[in-house]
């Protein structure tokens, strides 16, 4: 049954012959040139010159579920090699020397899995005695996240797992920080009731003064690489940060609490108490000084303030991306920030905003690629929901329908969504979030799944309406590119799975961002521990695999090394020099 047949009760004007036909997903992705640009409110004061490649070729996106989960690293390397065959030199140098990875508010361990996937991709070019990637430590306040981290494969399992970041400074310092913040909130005129509208200038002044005061107070706390914290894995204090090893890089990947800057929150920014962990993280970065830092947050995050706190030791850049930029039918727009330690990186070959341009892929997948549960599994989940909420269907049925398991309010919103979808072009599937009112936000799209939040209730609208169904908890991790153990997911309540996935980075987003950043760094010269047969850091061993990726993989001996002054991207006229 088509969508228009479902809407026989609705008065629908048929599309005239000269109207635009329903969008073809792949074609529309080729036309769509969404480039992550810096919003005026958060733009960096640094002036940069960039010649964007407006006609960069667009790669074909994944065409199956397996490709959507696994091919992003090889496809990213292929896209970079179209600019120059030797673009993997910097990646080779970094992974040959080795990476010590630390993460804070690690969630499901997406960063660990992404970096491990990049190390696996670069395996043909590196032959070192030590492991190319060591996941030193992870940190998360959630016990569910801790359980997921402990069940990671060996390559991406953190050696140490620590609790909340706010437990590291002493309790007296944390108490004084919260008391000081309360005073600045009062000065700004901020109240939880929201009945008063404070002056923006007063809020901005209070916010700047609070950050300065907080950093001054945090200067009393000096973490070091010898600092110890209670390790949940070993059940005794362990070193919180990896040791500083010559010719080995320290990469820090962290998420920041989004609520202080999110459009759905109160938008108090730095004056929100949940910004304190971010300031503690800044203090750690300033003292420990990792070589590379990657931070993820909502697009409304105050990048300018964070950059000013980390200067002059670090220089930063950011991009706002979505999985849709990389060929996946999932909407999750996020700001990814990258900071280089100036003593390690001399310049960047491309601005980070170019990641969406260089790595863009067409969208070939439909939304139902993620609907992998069988009808029997759907019915079993429906009966579990009825048992949990102690409800009965309207009549005895062997086959439960979606309306039988949703609350009255969600059913009312679902009916509104059904009417909206009936007026849209025919498609195999639409996915909507019935926890949100259809009167708020954009119309449903057949080309994307809404952003998954902790409170989301995602519903797939299909033809016929009897096939409409919930997305099961077991199907949610794949929306973020996560490969979680089915046994683990089955043991967790549905709310915990939604919270777990909704708070996590998207695997493809963070993986491609890290890959692009490391590939475009021009490192300062030092002697790398290259495998036998490579006479210099600029010489790359031939691949042991014939078809590592869809792009060229052979390198040329004698080409400029990543630490030289020659840009290996000849299509650009200007490099970003720190």
Residue 62 has pLDDT above 70, yes or no: yes
Determine the Cα–Cα distance for residues 46 and 113; give it in Å rounded to an integer: 33
Residue 249 has pLDDT above 90, yes or no: yes
Residue whose C-alpha is closest to residue 72's, from 254, 320, 323, 293: 323
Among the listed ranges 228-242, 482-496, 499-513, 562-576, which one has the minimum average pLDDT value? 562-576
Confidence band of 321 (pLDDT split at 50, 70, 90): very high
Answer yes or no: are the C-beta atoms of 466 and 454 closer than 8 Å. no
The values of phi and psi at residue 261, to 5°, are -115, -5
**Quick one: pLDDT at residue 553?**
35
Collect all residues with Cβ–Cβ distance below 8 Å to 14 and sequence separation of at least 6. Answer: none
Confidence band of 396 (pLDDT split at 50, 70, 90): low
Determine the Cα–Cα distance for residues 575 and 569; give it in Å rounded to an integer: 9
Residue 36 has pLDDT above 60, yes or no: no
- At 217-240, the pLDDT tens digits run 999 999 999 999 999 999 999 999
Residue 487 has pLDDT above 60, yes or no: yes
- Is 339 strand, coil or helix? strand
Strands (E), 342-427: 345-348
Determine the Cα–Cα distance for residues 510 and 481; give it in Å rounded to an integer: 11
**Quick one: pLDDT at residue 56?**
61
The single residue listed with the structure tokens 């901020």 is: 190
CB atoms within 10 A of CB 572: 19
**Quick one: pLDDT at residue 393?**
64
What single-letter DSSP state applies at residue 33? -
Among the listed ranges 255-264, 394-403, 497-506, 511-520, which one has the minimum average pLDDT value? 394-403
What pTM was estimated for this model as a whole?
0.82
Answer yes or no: are the C-beta atoms of 574 and 51 closer than 8 Å. yes
**Quick one: pLDDT at residue 246?**
86
Helix axes 276-288, 303-310, angle to 10 degrees: 30
Cis bond upstream, residue 312 (ω within 30): yes
- At 264-310, the pLDDT tens digits run 778 899 999 999 999 999 999 999 999 999 999 999 999 999 999 99
Confidence band of 7 (pLDDT split at 50, 70, 90): very low
The values of phi and psi at residue 118, to 5°, are -65, -40
**Quick one: pLDDT at residue 255?**
92
Q: What's the chain's average pLDDT? A: 80
Answer yes or no: are the C-beta atoms of 180 and 215 closer than 8 Å. no
Question: What is the total residue count of the chain?
Answer: 578
**Quick one: pLDDT at residue 464?**
76
């Amino acid at each position: 049954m088509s969508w228009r047949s479902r809407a026989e009760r609705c008065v629908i004007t048929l599309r005239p012959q000269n109207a635009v036909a329903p969008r073809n997903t792949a074609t529309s992705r080729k036309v769509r040139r969404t480039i992550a640009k810096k919003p005026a409110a958060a733009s960096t004061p640094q002036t940069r010159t960039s010649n964007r490649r407006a006609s960069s070729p667009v790669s074909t996106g994944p065409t199956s579920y397996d490709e959507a989960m696994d091919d992003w690293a090889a496809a990213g390397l292929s896209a970079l090699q179209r600019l120059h065959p030797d673009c993997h030199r910097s990646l080779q140098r970094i992974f040959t020397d080795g990476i010590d990875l630390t993460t804070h508010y690690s969630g499901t361990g997406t960063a660990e899995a992404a970096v491990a996937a990049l190390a696996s991709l670069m395996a043909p070019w590196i032959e070192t005695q030590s492991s190319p990637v060591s996941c030193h430590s992870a940190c998360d306040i959630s016990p569910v996240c801790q359980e997921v981290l402990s069940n990671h494969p060996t390559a991406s399992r953190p050696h140490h797992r620590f609790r909340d970041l706010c437990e590291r400074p002493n309790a007296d310092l944390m108490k004084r920080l919260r008391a000081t913040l309360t005073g600045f909130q009062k000065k700004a005129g901020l109240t939880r009731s929201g009945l008063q509208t404070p002056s923006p200038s007063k809020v901005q002044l209070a916010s700047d003064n609070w950050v300065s005061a907080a950093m001054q107070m945090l200067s009393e706390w000096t973490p070091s690489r010898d600092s110890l914290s209670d390790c949940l894995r070993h059940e005794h204090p362990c070193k919180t940060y990896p040791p500083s090893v010559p010719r080995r890089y320290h990469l820090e990947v962290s998420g920041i609490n989004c609520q202080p800057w999110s459009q759905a929150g109160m938008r108090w920014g730095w004056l929100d108490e949940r910004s304190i962990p971010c300031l503690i993280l800044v203090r750690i970065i300033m003292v420990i000084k990792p070589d590379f830092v990657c931070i993820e947050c909502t697009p409304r995050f105050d990048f300018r303030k964070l950059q000013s706190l980390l200067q002059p030791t670090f220089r930063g850049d950011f991009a706002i991306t979505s999985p849709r930029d990389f060929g996946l039918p999932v909407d999750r727009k996020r700001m990814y920030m990258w900071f280089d330690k100036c003593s390690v990186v001399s310049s960047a070959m491309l601005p980070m905003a170019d990641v969406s341009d260089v790595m863009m892929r067409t969208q070939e997948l439909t939304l139902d690629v993620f609907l992998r549960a069988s009808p029997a599994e759907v019915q079993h989940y429906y009966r579990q929901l009825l048992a949990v909420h102690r409800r009965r269907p309207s009549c005895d049925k062997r086959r439960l329908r979606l309306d039988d398991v949703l609350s009255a309010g969600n059913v009312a919103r679902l009916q509104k969504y059904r009417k909206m979808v009936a007026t849209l072009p025919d498609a195999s599937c639409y996915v909507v979030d019935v926890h949100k009112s259809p009167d708020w936000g954009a119309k449903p799209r057949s080309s994307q799944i809404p952003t998954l939040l902790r409170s989301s209730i995602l519903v797939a609208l299909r033809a016929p309406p009897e096939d409409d169904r919930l997305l099961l908890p077991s199907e949610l991790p794949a929306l973020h590119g996560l490969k979680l153990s089915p046994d683990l997911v089955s043991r967790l309540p549905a709310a915990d799975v939604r919270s777990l996935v909704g708070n996590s980075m998207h695997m493809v987003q963070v993986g491609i961002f890290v890959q692009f950043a490391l590939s475009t760094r021009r490192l300062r010269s030092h002697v790398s521990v290259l495998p036998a047969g490579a006479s210099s850091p600029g010489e790359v061993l031939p691949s042991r695999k014939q078809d590592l990726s869809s792009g060229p993989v052979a390198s040329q001996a004698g080409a400029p090394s990543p630490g030289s002054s020659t840009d290996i991207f000849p299509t650009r006229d200007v490099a970003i020099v720190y």
